[in-house]
Structure 1
């Protein structure tokens, strides 16, 4: 991602208050903060999603659209994450991870019970995709 695009995404997430998902005290707050069609890749867009976890907060196990490639960077605190059957890993502020099409995100939670955590997930996805997260049915 180029520096101007990253700067725009960070500015947008710092100024936005719209909430796409805020169902409970421990559920992550998910906000679409950036959306832009890719001019050289017809049918694809880049979408930035701010995920905010309160102390002890989490996102339920989920998948993403089959077209989605995701690059996530922890902005604040620490995030405990598990993709597919890989190890549960803690990512601290400034660290990143990615998900490729078809991945299952089984664990996505704040690593702290006392401090908040935030991450920015940047999706490259089919432009027509409106839902970016699908709960895994148990």
Structure 2
């Protein structure tokens, strides 16, 4: 009997199959989080692109308040995360989804005991930085 592949193995395979498009420029990342760029493509809507990445959070990691120049669609792959979106807390766990509207100020924290990960899909304005930190 074969075991099901791990989420990491599936993501790695997807990267090989759909890794088209160049990654967005690297930006400094808060400690405890990593981003693995999966795919980036122009959309049929002029001036817009889609970008998809896996974001991993170490136990206790916090990603501070920020915005994006577009929408973010989140699917939680593992663990438990708490987001604050426009001042409202939202707690999600593996298998849950979350929509972050264009320009919404939000942050994320791993509130579980182990690692956490999300599949983040962004519909963005082309040529703008992915993340703008808010003080």
Give the TM-score normalised by structure 1: 0.74
Q: Distance in 1 between matches of 2:97 and 2:56?
A: 15
Aligned to 2:118: 119
Secondary structure of the residue that 2:35 maps to in structure 1?
strand
Structure 1, unmatched stretches of 5+, are: 1-6
Q: Which of 8, 11, 15 matches 1:12?
A: 15
Secondary structure of the residue that 1:12 maps to in structure 2?
helix
Give the TM-score normalised by structure 2: 0.76
> Aligned residues, how many?
120
RMSD: 2.8
Aligned to 1:95: 96
Whose radius of gyration is greater, 1 or 2?
2
Structure 2, unmatched stretches of 5+, are: 1-9
Aligned to 1:81: 83
Q: Distance in 1 between matches of 2:126 and 2:68?
A: 14
Asked whether the 8 Å contact 1:63–1:102 carries over to 2, the reply is yes
